Amino acid sequence: MFGKGKSDKDGYSSFLKKMQGSYVVLAVAYVVFGLSLLIKPQQSTTVICYAIGALCIIYAAATLIKYFTDSTRRLYIEPNFVLPVILGVFGIVTIVRPAVIISILPFIVGIVLVFSGLIKVQDSINLKRFDYARWYIVLAFALVSVVLGIVILINPFGTGMLFTRIVGLFFVVDGAMSISSIIMTRKNSRYY
């Protein structure tokens, strides 16, 4: 009526493509992360700690520089000073004492697996709506991912290198399933 129609569809299609592009990048990161956990679990967790620490320090430094050089008025409640300081300290601790972070890494991985599994449940439902014949495979893997994440959350400190490798395998399969579901959704979607 008011210029809607094709432009709305084009906008939605563009949005979906951008979202799926981000989803593909995340899926590839899952595969790479999983392979690193499979091949070199101890070294991978240490490198992950160094990377997290470096990112926190870089973000903290950039935010603090912006805080002190920005001349605009700030809201009183903005955490533009405290949050970067906390992140900077966390980054330094992560680099200096990676064992501390490695000890909580299973808990973090458990949370990621639960959320990723729940997203895969949604993907499987969408694939079923698109009449994809093997939607139940995505659902089965999603449920295994959720269960594995819950097991890790219940006993995060009982995980050893073998369990780390198993988690790595699940990340590889999870990433591959994500890429597969994106391809199937794109093939069957009316917006592409």
pLDDT tens digits for the chain (192 residues)?
Answer: 445 555 556 666 666 666 667 777 888 888 888 888 888 888 887 888 898 899 899 999 998 888 888 766 655 556 678 888 999 999 999 999 988 877 777 788 789 889 989 988 998 898 888 888 888 888 998 898 899 889 888 876 665 666 677 778 878 888 888 887 777 777 766 544
How confident is the model at residue 12, as a pLDDT?
A: 61
Answer yes or no: pTM beyond 0.85: no
Q: Decide if 120 is inside a domain.
A: yes
What gap in Å lies between CA 91 and CA 147, rounded to an integer?
31
How confident is the model at residue 73, as a pLDDT?
A: 61
State the burial class of residue 80 (Cβ atoms within 10 Å of its Cβ: 0-12, 13-18, 19+). middle
Q: Decide if 41 is inside a domain.
A: yes
What gap in Å lies between CA 83 and CA 61, rounded to an integer?
11
Please provide the size of the chain in residues: 192
Domain that residue 127 falls in: 28-188
Q: Decide if 15 is inside a domain.
A: no
Q: Decide if 2 is inside a domain.
A: no
Q: Decide if 21 is inside a domain.
A: no
How confident is the model at residue 146, as a pLDDT?
A: 92
Query: What is the residue whose two structure tokens read 């995340």?
Result: 26
- Please write down the long-range contacts of 149-155, taking CB distance under 8 Å and 24 or more positions apart: 149/109, 149/110, 149/111, 149/112, 149/113, 149/114, 149/115, 149/116, 149/117, 150/110, 150/114, 151/110, 152/106, 152/107, 152/109, 152/110, 152/113, 153/107, 153/110, 153/111, 153/114
Q: Do 38 and 172 touch, CB atoms closer than 8 A?
A: yes
What gap in Å lies between CA 35 and CA 191, rounded to an integer?
33
How confident is the model at residue 71, as a pLDDT?
A: 64
How confident is the model at residue 143, as a pLDDT?
A: 92
Q: Decide if 22 is inside a domain.
A: no
Give the helix ranges, DSSP H, for the chain: 6-39, 41-69, 82-96, 98-129, 135-154, 161-188
Q: Decide if 82 is inside a domain.
A: yes
Number of domains in the chain: 1
